[in-house]
Structure 1
């Protein structure tokens, strides 16, 4: 998938392939200028938006893979946000806490079941209640496995229902995280800062924030009728049902057209 950006030297459009690191070192094909585009977007956001774009373009099976990956990467995001939030509360040095977290995550980086266990414990410690939404039925695990591992060809309505489950769960957990999500964002900013420090003086750095299914709600405040960011306890959980299909439908109608950044093709 590609997104468009503008060369800071000649202002002409350049098509860029998403990088895993959110850092894109580029050379303009029109004028030869060197520049670096840093996208302020977490991997789970990119993956979910790619899934939405695939769904809108008629690629239902490909959309399932992106939605499933988005959920796994969100669980990772939650663990990092909680661990760094806790370190900040204990007034630990952020750099040291980040290094310790990176070392702790490394042994489970390719083990999804252990990552899920780390998320479950992080949720219990932060919210004070068990993550009862982690059942296979609530997560749509059977549908996901049929499509990804057994090659099933899903109908669009099935994919929309699965996407709604994933969206509603991530949306709810982001709301519960509230300001805690900023700690994971700070980790990304440190990554960007380290890359910027390594760039030659002639390279122009460009920061971008793309529209997406989550960012408008996350940075714009909670929508009416939803729980307040940072709200914990049973009351907050009851206010945000984990599988609210209408939440995805509303977001798709409101923000789906804004995903014009995502297109198939070649640069």
Structure 2
């Protein structure tokens, strides 16, 4: 998928393919100015917006795949945020904590079940309670596996129900994290900084923020008590209806299939 961008120098409109790293190298086709675009959006946020756009465009399988990937990356986000939160309370340099985190993550990066187990114990350690939302029913595991592995073509109602599950779990995690989300945000900013310092002199940095459906920054409490997650099964449907115009603007139009 691509997102729209206007050149700061000549205001020419163009589209930019989403990059996995959130860092995008762009040259304006009109004035030839070069830019490094830094998208302040975490992977799970981007993937959830991909799912929402696919759902709005009527692509149920694509939406399901993106929602499933978003949930996996939300669990990783929780792990990274809480690990760096603990490291911030020690005298160890942040660079060492990040290096240890990256090395440990590589041992589970290709195995989703190991990631789920790592998350479960991290959640228990931090929150003091078991993650009761990790049951196959709450995760929509059977539906996900039928779509992902068995080629099942879901109905719109099934995709909506699965999106509700993913949305509910992710927003619960973000509420539980509270200010800890800032540690994962700092990790992203450090990656951007390293890229920025290596830029040639003729490349202008531009920082972008896409306020999609899920935004970790909204849940930073700055010391205020974290509200208990609400059991609201219709939350995603209302949010999607409210932000559908925004989601439409975040992406260039998906081509119609024939």
The interval holding the TM-score normalised by the smaller chain is over 0.9
Aligned counterparts, 1:151-190, within 5 A? 151-190=151-190
Return the alpha-carbon distance in structure 2 between the equivalents of residues 229 and 62 of structure 1.
37
Other-structure match for 2:18? 18
Q: CA offsets, 1:98-138, max 9 Å, x none? A: 11111111121111111111111110011001111101011
| TM-aligned CA deviation for residue 256 of structure 1 | 2.3
Large movers: runs of 4+ above 3 Å: 228-231
Note the aligned Cα RMSD (angstroms).
1.7
Aligned counterparts, 1:62-81, within 5 A? 62-81=62-81
| TM-aligned CA deviation for residue 27 of structure 1 | 1.0
Other-structure match for 1:106? 106
| TM-aligned CA deviation for residue 11 of structure 1 | 1.6
- Could you tell me the TM-score, scaled by structure 2's length? 0.93
- Could you tell me the TM-score, scaled by structure 1's length? 0.90
| TM-aligned CA deviation for residue 265 of structure 1 | 5.1
Return the alpha-carbon distance in structure 2 between the equivalents of residues 229 and 106 of structure 1.
34
Cα pair 1:45 1:212 within 8 Å, conserved: yes
Cα pair 2:178 2:219 within 8 Å, conserved: no
Instruction: Give the count of matched residue pairs.
Output: 252
Task: Note the residue ranges of structure 2 that are not aligned, 5 or more in a row.
Answer: none
Other-structure match for 2:218? 219
Q: CA offsets, 1:154-204, max 9 Å, x none? A: 110110000000001101110110000110010000000000000011100
Distance 1:19 1:229, change over 3 A: farther
Cα pair 2:178 2:220 within 8 Å, conserved: no
Task: Note the residue ranges of structure 1 that are not aligned, 5 or more in a row.
Answer: 223-227
| TM-aligned CA deviation for residue 240 of structure 1 | 2.6
Return the alpha-carbon distance in structure 2 between the equivalents of residues 165 and 5 of structure 1.
32
